[in-house]
């Protein structure tokens, strides 16, 4: 299998090294061969070359079986231009419309919610990943003056809403789940989110075994904290999904724990931890590599290698239970030692 690897910026590089260590352990244990191509696209690359992603870059990516990204973001590039082209550009150009973000608590000790354990926190968020407020439609007029006007439009299309809502129901059905919750802000955004309402009702009617529920996004945030156990599958738009998955990450022990996949079922997909480049931790051997390693598991699962993915998940769980983890989740290990431990237990199982 051919994989593109984009470590990116900051701790993205640190955690990618550990993710690849674990991938190598999987390759050895299961007798698989992964052909890796490292792509240097990052803040450093942009500052040196003035190129965010080279011509033909997205076509190059389409030629791989999957793509792994560490993180992108650098204070030297305040408008985040390179991340827009590399990260968001890949989501848009490869039409990776499903942002798959499982929220699964591995150990009650890691959860900041009072008296909650793994049984209470186990759901997935499907975030629409190709439209919404992320499409850069708009502009600024008289920028920098007191007359400045800034417009950023939210795009909602029938096709876009329909395919992510459909995906959420299909996922629930395939896993024997019985609840799908859609969150929008249709009480205030009475045009764009009326479309979400219509599509959700229409699709839900095709799945009699699944109970559809709806919350406004503000209420969803509250209920996630108050009663996370009621959720199995949540589906929402691009921006709301971004926000509630950072909240979900805290339930799992923090941003360092959360994994994600950017999928177009049947096509080249991209995998990355939910966290960003955390510049203050970069290169200091402190970043938690579990979100990145979990993203490798999601990648292998998506590529049909479910035993391999399960071996990684079991090794992560063991590391968490035995506190062989970084300090953000109560351990004393550095990034590389935490990665070593998980890689070694993948091989020993
Ligand atoms: P961030 O996720 O980088 O970090 C926020 C805080 O979360 C960190 O300061 C740290 O305390 C904690 N954290 C995050 N990852 C961790 C890890 N692996 N181990 C331990 N602690 C961890 O978010 P931010 O500070 O808002 O953004 C920093 C940069 O990253 C920005 O440029 C932002 O645009 C970018 N970003 C990129 C992605 C991505 O590439 N997918 C995601 C989010 C943010
Ligand atoms: C994420 C990130 C990105 C997003 C940023 C870096 C543009 O926060 O992947 O969650 O908002 O999608
Ligand atoms: Mn985010």
Among protein residues, the one whose CA lies closest to atom 12 of ligand 2: 242
| Residue whose CA lies nearest to ligand 1 atom number 9 | 278
In degrees and rounded to multiples of 5, residue 218 shows phi and psi of -65, -40
Q: Is the CB of 308 under 6 A from ligand 2?
A: no
In the prediction, which pLDDT does 349 show?
Answer: 81
Length of the chain: 349
To test the ligand 1 pocket, which listed residue (9, 239, 275, 282) has its Cβ within 8 A of the most ligand atoms?
A: 275
> Which ligand does the CA of 276 lie closest to?
1
Query: Residue by residue, what is the 3-state secondary structure of 247-274?
Result: HHHHHCCCHHHCEEEEECCCCCEEEEEC
Residue 178: CB partners within 8 Å, gap ≥ 6?
172, 209, 210, 211, 232
Secondary structure element (H or E) that encloses residue 340, with its range: helix 335-348
Per-residue pLDDT at 104: 98
Residues annotated as catalytic (active site), given as ranges:
134, 185, 218, 242, 246
Quote the pTM value: 0.97
In short, whether 74's Cβ falls inside 6 Å of ligand 2 is no
How does pLDDT run across 272-320, given as a tens digit for each residue? 999 999 999 999 999 999 999 999 999 999 999 999 999 999 999 999 9
What's the CA-to-centroid distance between 80 and ligand 2, angstroms?
11
Ligand 1 atom showing the smallest separation from residue 15 Cα = 18
Half-sphere exposure of 254 (CA within 13 A, CB side): 16
Locate the ligand 1 atom nearest the alpha carbon of residue 83 and give its number: 40
**Any idea which residue has 């299909």 for tokens?**
170
Burial class (CB in 10 A: 0-12, 13-18, 19+), 155: middle
Task: List ligand 1's pocket residues with C-beta within 6 A.
Answer: 11, 15, 71-73, 80, 83, 87, 254-256, 272, 275-278, 280, 287-288, 291, 328
What's the 273 CA to ligand 3 centre distance in angstroms?
10
pLDDT at 47 over 90: yes
Ion ligand 3, residues whose Cβ is below 5 A away: 242
Interacting residues of 155 by C-beta distance below 8 A, sequence separation 6+ = 131, 132, 133, 135, 137
> What does the pLDDT read at residue 148?
98
* Arithmetic mean of pLDDT over the chain: 98
Question: Which residue is closest in CA terms to ligand 2's atom 8?
Answer: 242
Helix (H) / strand (E) containing 45? helix 43-49
Query: Which pLDDT band, with edges at 50, 70 and 90, does 196 fall under?
Result: very high
Q: How many CA atoms lie within 13 A of 293 on its CB side?
A: 35
Residue 260 Cα, ligand 2 centroid: separation in angstroms? 11
Span 97-108, pLDDT tens digits: 999 999 999 999
Distance between start and end Cα atoms, the chain: 23
Look at residue 184 and tell me whether its pLDDT is greater than 90. Answer: yes
For residue 238, give the ligand 2 atom closest to its CA: 12
Distance 242 CA to ligand 2 centre (A): 7
Phi and psi (nearest 5°) for 257?
Answer: -95, -15
Best of 98, 241, 242, 243 for a ligand 2 pocket test (most atoms within 8 Å of beta carbon): 242
How much distance in Å is there from the Cα of 32 to the middle of ligand 3?
32
Q: What is the mean pLDDT of residues 111-135?
A: 98
Burial class (CB in 10 A: 0-12, 13-18, 19+), 140: exposed
> CA-to-CA distance for 225 and 114, rounded, in angstroms?
10
For residue 275, report the distance from its CA to the centre of ligand 1, in Å: 4
83 lines ligand 2 (CB under 6 A): yes
């Amino acid at each position: 299998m051919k994989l593109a690897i984009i470590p990116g910026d900051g701790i993205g590089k640190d955690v990618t090294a550990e993710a690849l260590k674990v991938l190598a352990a999987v390759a050895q244990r299961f007798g698989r061969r992964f052909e890796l191509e490292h792509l240097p696209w990052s803040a450093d690359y942009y500052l040196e070359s003035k190129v965010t992603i080279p011509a033909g870059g997205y076509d190059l990516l389409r030629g791989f079986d999957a793509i792994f990204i560490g993180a992108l973001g650098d204070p030297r590039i305040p408008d985040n231009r390179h991340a827009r082209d590399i990260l968001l550009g890949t989501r848009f150009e490869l039409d990776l419309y499903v942002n798959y973000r499982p929220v699964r608590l591995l150990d009650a000790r890691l959860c900041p919610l009072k008296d909650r354990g793994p049984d209470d926190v186990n759901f997935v968020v499907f975030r629409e990943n190709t439209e919404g407020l992320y499409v850069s439609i708009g502009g600024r007029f008289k920028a920098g003056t007191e007359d400045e006007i800034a417009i950023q439009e939210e795009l909602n299309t029938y096709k876009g809403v329909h395919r992510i809502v459909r995906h959420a129901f299909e996922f629930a059905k395939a896993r024997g789940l019985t609840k799908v919750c859609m969150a929008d802000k249709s009480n205030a955004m009475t045009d764009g989110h009326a479309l979400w309402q219509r599509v959700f009702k229409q699709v839900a009617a095709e799945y009699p075994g699944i109970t559809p529920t709806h919350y406004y996004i503000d209420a969803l945030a509250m209920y996630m904290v108050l009663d996370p156990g009621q959720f199995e599958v949540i589906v929402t738009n691009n921006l709301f999904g971004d926000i509630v998955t950072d909240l979900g990450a805290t339930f799992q022990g923090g941003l360092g724990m959360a994994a994600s996949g950017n999928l177009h079922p049947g096509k080249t997909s991209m995998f990355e931890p939910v966290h960003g480049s955390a510049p203050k931790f970069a290169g200091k051997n402190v970043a938690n590599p579990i979100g990145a390693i979990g993203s490798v598991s999601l990648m292998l699962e998506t590529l049909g290698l479910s035993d391999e993915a399960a071996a990684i998940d079991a090794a992560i769980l063991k590391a968490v239970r035995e506190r062989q983890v970084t300090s953000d989740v109560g351990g004393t290990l550095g990034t590389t030692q935490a990665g070593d431990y998980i890689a070694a237990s993948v091989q020993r199982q």
